[in-house]
Amino acid sequence: MSTRRHRKPSLAPSATALALSIAIGMSTLPWSSIVRAGTEAEPVAQTSQITRQTLHKSVEIDGVKVFYREAGSTDAPTILLLHGFPTSSHMFRNLIPALSDRFHLVAPDYPGFGNSDQPALEDFEYSFDNLASLMDAFVDRLGIERYSLYLMDYGAPIGFRLAAKHPERVASLIVQNGNAYIEGLREFWDPIRTYWKDPTAENAKPLAKFISPEGVEWQYTHGVRNPEVISPDNWKADLNHLTRAGNPEIQLALFYDYQNNVPHYPAWQAYFREHQPPTLIVWGKNDDIFPAEGAHPYRRDLVNLDFHLLDTGHFALEEDGQAIAAHIRRFLGRQVASKRGRKHEG
């Protein structure tokens, strides 16, 4: 299926609604260490230092260059890391080396984000259906047949589409501030709901703050215990793509299309109940965008659930990345040990 679809004229955002000041900058500062004590049932033998290095690669999917980060042995269990808004695979820059001794990690940038291409609106449909189709093709191109999904923010509706379409491919879910329940869309979403109902230039104006320098910084620092822990490299890296010519219109198109995720919630919840993927919840409970009210409903539908609310904000990896990495190592270690046990019994 082609991912290069034409956008519907009725969804065209105002070209002047989201004008921004340009701020450019990027750097990556990896964690100096990660706590590995107490990790249960490590899944594979430790890989070499060379294999653990993060590689920065790209692949063309239907004429669109998709950038991705990759590390770890391809013989190890794969984790597909799907980023949120307004960031890119940059949000995983520290998590990847913290896990690459035991896992194969792949983190793509969506079109219009990070280092991937930014096709024009008239050439590419910026919708969650289309981004999921492109990610599906991306996984096929890399030859990845089974994976765990790390889902954050925008990564959740993209990843849940993949899981519902290919449940046999999904080994487990790692959900970090990724919504699948109506309870998780609270007051923060009111101006976006207004735009859903009436997508005028006037109703688009309040949404400009979400991609302004101050608004992007707020998404990283709101709800954290210590703002000094959060590097400004984060929002500067995001602003590098948010301030490209035409990108504000792309973000507005995705704001508008987010409403089309909500009707999928019942189907995704049915997927949880029917297939019962082992699931790890690591959720920043002080997040206003996807608050903890959206985390608790997963308990209704999932039996094999490892549930953790963290005392931090939207981008939980920035303040509690070491804790999240440790949770992932224990959680996936148990899944692999359980699978080995079943094989032995058989």
- Mean local confidence (pLDDT), 91-120: 98
pLDDT digits (tens, 9 = 90+) for 276-317: 999 999 999 999 999 999 999 999 999 999 999 999 999 999
Catalytic residue status for 308:
no
What are the structure tokens assigned to 246, written together? Answer: 């035409």
CB-CB contact of 145 with 169 (8 Å) = yes
Domains and CATH numbers, the chain: 9-345 (3.40.50.1820)
335 band by pLDDT with thresholds 50, 70 and 90: confident
Distance CA 266, CA 263 (A): 7
52 band by pLDDT with thresholds 50, 70 and 90: confident
Q: Which residue in the list 104, 241, 314, 327 is annotated as catalytic?
A: 314
Residue 331 is predicted with a pLDDT of 97
Whether 43 shows a pLDDT value over 50: the answer reads: no
pLDDT digits (tens, 9 = 90+) for 208-222: 999 999 999 999 999
